[in-house]
Structure 1
Amino acid sequence: MSRLTLLLLSLSLHAGWAGSFFLTDFLHELPTPATGPQFDTSVPDNLTSLVGKEAELNCRVKNLGNRTVSWVRHRDIHLLTVGRYTYTSDQRFEAVHSPHSEDWMLRIRYPQKKDSGVYECQISTTPPIGHQVYLNIVEPRSEILGGPDIFIDAGSTINLTCLVTYPPDPPPDMVWTHNGKVISFDSPRGGVSLVTEKGAATTSRLLIQKAVPTDTGLYTCTPSNVAPDSARVHVLSDQTPAAMQHSDASPQPRGLHVQVLLLLLLLAASAVC
């Protein structure tokens, strides 16, 4: 026990009842030895949020005492909040804290992809200590795997997989089109089927059996709540590659070889004569 505490204890014993209350209040305010503010590292520090959907970064601090908590954006070392006050002109950012709570949150309304990056929660100790939180702002997208050009042998099965990532909700509907026309699964063409698996990432698989040249064209996958994606399918017949090879072969070298051979024969004949 320090000399100051012993002195106050002696004074309180002489001062009586009132002094005891003063001593109790004083000791309550004294910092606990070897104890200071600490970050609760069990709180997630790697967050993913959708474009336009409100994001909250939480910093939980224990034994804060009379220190303050601030949020700083690493990209431009910009001070965003101090305590319960917001220090940026960007009104999308807001400091959120409930009285007697250990949580100090940074709320971002209508986040954009440029808001992705590292944010640091800082405590005003000497020197300041900080805890970093990484925020990744993503936007929903669809992608036909293997695109934009897919080559299929005639007679084989066309297998197109559309992957939908980060949708706000699993797409209620998945529409496939071929050259702008909705693909019908009960058309006379036959052999067309669709398998869709919904979840955090949704996959939709279009299967077209026994591909023929007329199946060539632009295929588009359109989820009902995400932007579409397209891929162009090329159905190759057995004759097409061979025909292309023959057409690529130039007759000029063969004609040149014949001319050289005739010239040699003429020279040989003249030598005999």
Structure 2
Amino acid sequence: MPPFVDQLPPGPFFDVERSGNVTALVDQSARLNCRVNQIGNRTVSWLRHRDLHLLTVGRYTYTSDQRFRAEHVAGSEDWPLTIKFAQVRDSGHYECQVSTTPPIKHSLWLDVVEPQTRILGGPDVYINRGSSINLTCVVDYTPRPPDFVIWKHNNKIISYDSERGGVNVVTEKGPQTSTNLLIRNASERDSGSYSCSPSSAPATSVIVHILNGD
């Protein structure tokens, strides 16, 4: 019979599908997860890659920045790092380490983004006289959909029930909010600056040029 050979249990390994890159909104909490299977009695640490600053070891936090917090629950395979009130400067590589010999490491990327507003087709839009002005404003990276979006023409709020008529706005709210401004039968008086101002994101604008079409 072959000699009996003790087989050591396999060492810890990362579940990379549960330890992926993170996109977080500015001023919201960012949660970076590191899932380690078969960790045994070893410990997980988090480091910030840009300055090799040790942030956490196990369930203890080793930084004076109180926004950072280790949130491991005993018995769980997840070793999350939470950053409260995340800022753009927090973006970058973070490294999860397991205290094997030598340590095993897993790096992931945090991207902290600010609310963004854009009008498609800008910064200049050219429309033939008598055609329709059709502007679409898209709002990204807001904690929740904006409560309202205001359209302005030359710094004056556009009235949808003015004597001019032919003005319509359709807004679809969601993780990405879009609002469409339609002005029929464009004339020279409709030329100028058009701005889109969401309640929870910065305003943006385009210049509309009305062409004679000759």
Separation of aligned partners in 2, 1:129 and 1:50: 30
| Structure with more of its chain in helix, by fraction | 1
Size of the aligned set, in residue pairs, is 209
Q: Which residue of 2 aligns with 1:157?
A: 132
Conserved 8 A contact 2:97-2:105: yes
Q: Which residue of 2 aligns with 1:83?
A: 58
Alignment counterpart, residue 226 of structure 1, candidates 192, 201, 204: 201
Q: Which residue of 2 aligns with 1:133?
A: 108
2:1 maps to 1:39: no
Measure how far apart 1:44 and its partner are: 4.4
Separation of aligned partners in 2, 1:65 and 1:201: 43
Deviations 1:139-173 (A, max 9, x none): 11111112222222211111111010112111221
Question: Which residue identity is paired with 1:115?
Answer: D
Superposition map of 1:160-179 within 5 A: 160-179=135-154
Query: Counterpart of 1:103 in 2: which secondary structure?
Result: coil
| Structure with more of its chain in strand, by fraction | 2
2:112 maps to 1:112: no
**Unaligned segments of structure 1, at least 5 residues:** 1-30, 240-273
Q: Which residue of 2 aligns with 1:189?
A: 164
**Unaligned segments of structure 2, at least 5 residues:** 1-5
Separation of aligned partners in 2, 1:82 and 1:44: 17
* TM-score, length-scaled by structure 1: 0.72
Pick the structure with greater CA Rg: 1
Separation of aligned partners in 1, 2:213 and 2:94: 58
Query: Counterpart of 2:33 in 1: which secondary structure?
Result: strand
Superposition map of 1:187-266 within 5 A: 187-238=162-213
Q: Which residue of 2 aligns with 1:147?
A: 122
Runs of 4+ in 1 over 4 A off after TM superposition: none
* TM-score, length-scaled by structure 2: 0.91
Separation of aligned partners in 2, 1:44 and 1:220: 40
What is the RMSD of the two structures over their aligned residues, measured on CA atoms? Answer: 1.7
Alignment counterpart, residue 78 of structure 2, candidates 95, 103, 109: 103
Question: Which residue identity is paired with 1:68?
Answer: T
